[in-house]
Structure 1
């Protein structure tokens, strides 16, 4: 069972570095295989090159997952709640009050 103490930052940082190193090596192997070229009569070698490409993509996804986990853990330990998404007017407060005052002046003027 996973627990919060099992996700300490140094362990995750070390894991992230190791995954990045593996992804770099795997990508280098993949590029070398592509540069050598694989003859059409070597289906097994073609399959291995495809597997290397899939492994490279999986390692990149795993590294992103570890990075997101580290960010989540840092956010959880910050003690601050996440910012709330509010549906507010994106204009500045001064612009909102200016428009409100203009409409107020117009509605008072038209009521008279």
Structure 2
């Protein structure tokens, strides 16, 4: 359909479509924020909400092929949860920061 349109109209329709695709793709990336005493994880699925985990709530950390598994107990609800953080979709700098922080702060809770 876009091939039958004049040249200027192709750009005015095609460019916004590419921008929308880029924004949607970037929104679906895994987002990790590391603070002084917490980790905030926003999964790739846009339906699921972000999870903030205090370092003192974490009971164990295990490293599997291309993912980090964090088990923690929420202090408010006293329920145990598991978070799987995929490393394959993360950027290298963000991945290194996450892994080094977990190795340094949670070395006694690693499995």
The two structures have a TM-score, normalised by structure 2, of 0.29
- Hey, which of these two has a bigger chunk of strand by percent? 2
**Structure with larger Rg:** 1
- Hey, which of these two has a bigger chunk of helix by percent? 1
Using CA pairs under 8 Å that are at least 6 residues apart, name the structure with larger relative contact order, 1 or 2. 1
